[in-house]
Amino acid sequence: MYENSRLIIDSSNIPDAGSITWRSPSNIAIVKYWGKYGIQLPRNPSLSLTLTASCTDTQLEYTLKEGNLDGKIDLDFFFHEEENEPFKIKIVAFLESLLPVYPFLKQLKLTIRSGNSFPHSAGIASSASAMSALALCLCSLEDTLFGTLKESAVFDQKASYLARLGSGSACRSIFPYAAAWGETSQWKGSSNEFAIPMENHLHDTFKDLHDDILIVSRAEKTVSSRAGHALMEGNPFAAPRYEQARARFSTLLDAMRVGDLEVFGKIAEDEALTLHALMMSSNPSFTLLRPASLSIIEKVRQYRADTGNQVYFTLDAGPNVHLLYPGDIVHEVRAFIEEQLEEHCEDGFVLQDWVGEGPEEI
């Protein structure tokens, strides 16, 4: 939808070198995206909270080359100050796939330096923060060179679109507090191509939510999200799953509008367990949950029953458990984590995060 062969550098009055840096956060899905088709299009609408502490800083440096439009992407890539060949190969493939949208990329020598706020081996997916940070840098670059993305809503939509092409969930990280991705009759302007902001449809309760991430294992996932999505194609539960996700999405929208934390929490937990049930019922089946993940889930349920405190769990495509709870009980919940949950975490590692205002240019 954004293909544009006119985005070619042909004027001498643009800066021939420059640098752009964005910090972009990770996000945690409440209704999950699991299953895709075509070029990174989701089988069902998803909705996520935008985090703060788990983020990626990406700096994009560019220098104008002597116009060689048949050339290839010319990139140096550094991750945490070191050249990283596997990441570089992925980024080059991504940038090459963007050439119909951004033909000018062939006219530049690019250097990208990227780094995550969380330890590299924290067992936390970084594709959402990394791809959204890169997409934002590219949109800033377009605007610097051509002045075509002055309006912030237009800028954000394009950044979300580009981020999606890098990693589906990344398209939701562009927006503050919460974002929804995927076409639904309930939301005018919703799309499979990019996410939309939820800020104006959100009760304040959800702007003050914590997400403490209990790191059960730092090990890299045995099955990638990409492979997991692909396995949904043969999953016997796929069709009813997509229906279920639509129904939950609709209920969640209402709950988040009126501030119903209980309905929100129930959906978050049901979605987490459904996601992992889908993995277990894939062919071949795979299991990313660890015994410690289940111990934590049991304790959270018990804690909620004992105290009435609104603490809910969710899971990503991995064994780590996210605890979602409102800001006014932070001290009690942190004590609970310390006393009862840290023992299930690798080296007692807990990453404290919270819902935040989204990416910033730095």
Q: Which residues bind ligand DP6 (CB under 6 A)?
A: 29, 32-34, 40, 46, 125, 127, 167-169, 225-226, 229, 275, 316-317
Give the closest residue to 310 by CA, choosing from 174, 205, 203: 205
DSSP code at position 17: E
Give the closest residue to 180 by CA, choosing from 201, 154, 165, 163: 201
User: Closest separation between CB of residue 178 and ligand DP6, Å?
Assistant: 13
Instruction: Please answer whether residues 74 and 65 qualify as being in contact, where contact means their C-beta atoms are separated by less than 8 angstroms.
Output: yes
Which residue, 23 or 32, has its beta carbon nearer to ligand DP6?
Answer: 32
Burial of 157 per CB tally in 10 Å (0-12, 13-18, 19+)? buried
Pairing outcome for strands 36-37 and 178-181? unpaired
User: Closest separation between CB of residue 127 and ligand DP6, Å?
Assistant: 5
Which residue, 20 or 122, has its beta carbon nearer to ligand DP6?
Answer: 122
Which residue, 9 or 91, has its beta carbon nearer to ligand DP6?
Answer: 91
Which residue, 20 or 51, has its beta carbon nearer to ligand DP6?
Answer: 51
Give the closest residue to 104 by CA, choosing from 157, 58, 67, 133: 67
Return the amino acid letter for 76.
D
Which residue, 1 or 39, has its beta carbon nearer to ligand DP6?
Answer: 39
Q: How far apart are CA 49 and CA 45, in angstroms?
A: 14
Q: How far apart are CA 24 and CA 138, in angstroms?
A: 13
User: Closest separation between CB of residue 258 and ligand DP6, Å?
Assistant: 23
User: Closest separation between CB of residue 164 and ligand DP6, Å?
Assistant: 8
User: Closest separation between CB of residue 305 and ligand DP6, Å?
Assistant: 27
Instruction: Please answer whether residues 158 and 139 qualify as being in contact, where contact means their C-beta atoms are separated by less than 8 angstroms.
Output: yes
Which residue, 19 or 222, has its beta carbon nearer to ligand DP6?
Answer: 222
CA atoms within 13 A on the CB side of 302: 10
User: Closest separation between CB of residue 179 and ligand DP6, Å?
Assistant: 11
User: Closest separation between CB of residue 165 and ligand DP6, Å?
Assistant: 9
User: Closest separation between CB of residue 167 and ligand DP6, Å?
Assistant: 3
Which residue, 33 or 155, has its beta carbon nearer to ligand DP6?
Answer: 33
> And the tokens for 186?
């309930």
Give the closest residue to 194 by CA, choosing from 226, 170, 166, 164: 164
Instruction: Show the beta-strand stretches assigned E in 223-344.
Output: 312-315, 321-326
Which residue, 40 or 107, has its beta carbon nearer to ligand DP6?
Answer: 40
Q: How far apart are CA 146 and CA 140, in angstroms?
A: 10
